[in-house]
Amino acid sequence: MLVLSRKAGQSILIGHNIEVKIIEVQGDQIKIGINAPKDISILRKELMDEVRKANRDAVVDGAGLSLEELSKILKVQG
């Protein structure tokens, strides 16, 4: 992992087309701006981790269901 120190107003470049800019620093919070092509997904890691955990939990919780029970659940939700 590369660790850099930056001040408000300074940026780093990732490749030639992604810029991460430090917008503001207040105490322990940092506001950043990201300029990237529209085809690049930018996601908050903690949200992706929650989605992955929810998906794993759903698989484990649903493992004991019969196909009929699962079908009923999917019809109600879908």
Q: Tokens 């196909």: give the residue.
A: 67
HSE-CB at 35 with a 13 A cutoff on CA atoms is: 10
Tens digit of pLDDT for each residue in 22-60?
999 999 999 999 999 999 999 888 988 888 888 777 776
pTM of the model: 0.64
How is the chain split into domains, by residue range? Answer: 1-37, 43-78
Strands 29-35 and 11-14: unpaired
